[in-house]
Amino acid sequence: MLDIFTDYPKMYSMNVVKVRIKEMAQKRGLTTAYQLQKITGAQPNLAAKWYRNDLKSIGIDTLNTLCKALNCTPSDLLEYTPDKAAV
């Protein structure tokens, strides 16, 4: 049985979600955060964070905006890889 106080850090780090916004943007010919900003209409600092894949979380509206601008699906922007030890 898991002890939430001692096992939570282990549970939290069991899986990895990799953000691939920059990779998808580059596939679409966007080589700078400025270009991503222009096609999404995002604020410069936000577009720069997206382009650097500097995210702690991402909302549905943001995914919709990015998918529409980059002509892709959420699975193109996010890659889920389970931790081998957790499987």
Confidence of residue 65 (pLDDT cuts 50, 70, 90): very high
Number of folded domains that form the chain: 1
pLDDT in tens, 31-52: 999 999 999 999 999 999 999 9
**Does the pLDDT value for residue 3 go beyond 60?**
no
CATH number of the domain within which 26 lies? 1.10.260.40
Burial grade of 49 (CB within 10 A; 0-12, 13-18, 19 or more): middle
Domain assignment of residue 77, yes or no: yes
- Please list, in sequence order, all residues whose beta carbon lies within 8 angstroms of the beta carbon of residue 74, skipping any fewer than 6 positions away: 63, 67
Domain assignment of residue 71, yes or no: yes
Domain assignment of residue 10, yes or no: no
Domain assignment of residue 46, yes or no: yes
Domain assignment of residue 36, yes or no: yes
Domain assignment of residue 19, yes or no: yes
pLDDT for residue 82: 83
**Does the pLDDT value for residue 28 go beyond 80?**
yes
- What residues make up the domain containing 30? 15-86
Determine the 3-state secondary structure of 56 from DSSP. coil
- Residue 18, H or E segment: strand 15-19
Length of the chain: 87
pLDDT for residue 83: 76
Domain assignment of residue 49, yes or no: yes
pTM of the model: 0.76
Domain assignment of residue 34, yes or no: yes
